[in-house]
Amino acid sequence: MKDYDGDGFLEFKNGEDITKVDLNFLVYSGSTIKVNAAKKFAEDMKSIGLQVTVDKQDWNNYKKLLDAGNYDMAYCEVRLNGDFDPSKLLTSGAPMNYGAVADSQLDELISAYLSANDDDRRTACDNMCAYIANKAYIVPLVFERHQLISHRGVVEGAKANENNPLCGIENWTVKIENVKKSEDTTKD
């Protein structure tokens, strides 16, 4: 790609045909913050010669276009459960895989992370995250955590909830004896 016609924007050449690069950036129109962020992104892309058209859509049209994959880029908000399982977002055929990622190596890395034991989980997570970052299937703009952290076996009945880490607290059972066991093993 280069600026073949001198207008400041990149084009690509296919034989003798020159085609302008104009990326469609889909965004939900009901969020002023997201629309403004998309406009700022489009404006910033001009500085490197990329034309980006912000496509603001109401929720129903946004969702239809997103589901159909009818966009080049999309501003999305995704909330993963507290167990940090990215499979519904990034595995082949997953319900929130709006980028149509179909990468068997990524599927294997996600599976390895999700099935890793305590000793191997950090390495498996590092490998998975490095692969995702290098492929740039998604570009996170903001990362926020609403979470409950405890030792395994201490809290029973807690259900992951993207909006409220204390959801259903009345159904939880806290096993104090397991807190002592966890503390004893961490002192070694």
> For the chain, how many structural domains are there in total?
1
Residue 181 lies inside a defined structural domain of this protein:
yes
Residue 161 lies inside a defined structural domain of this protein:
yes
pLDDT, residue 179, reads 60
The residue among 127, 64, 131, 129 whose CA lies nearest residue 98 is: 64
Q: Angle, nearest 10°, between helix axes 118-135 and 104-115?
A: 150
Per-residue pLDDT tens for 68-85?
888 988 988 877 776 778
Per-residue pLDDT tens for 16-26?
898 888 999 99
Residue 169 lies inside a defined structural domain of this protein:
yes
pTM over 0.75: no
With beta carbons less than 8 A apart as the criterion, state whether 106 and 91 touch: yes
Strongest mean pLDDT among 53-57, 80-84, 143-147, 167-171: 53-57
Residue 59 lies inside a defined structural domain of this protein:
no
pLDDT, residue 182, reads 47
Q: How far is CA 150 from the centre of its chain?
A: 25
CA dist 113 and 50 (Å) reads 36
Written as one string, the DSSP assignment of 74-116 is E-------TT--THHHHSTT-TT-TT----HHHHHHHHHHHH-
Range of the domain at 162: 148-188
Residue 165 lies inside a defined structural domain of this protein:
yes
With beta carbons less than 8 A apart as the criterion, state whether 147 and 165 touch: yes
Question: What DSSP state is assigned to residue 170?
Answer: G
Residue 174 lies inside a defined structural domain of this protein:
yes
pLDDT, residue 112, reads 95
Residue 30 lies inside a defined structural domain of this protein:
no
Residue 123 lies inside a defined structural domain of this protein:
no
Average pLDDT value for residue range 113-129: 92
CA dist 99 and 43 (Å) reads 23
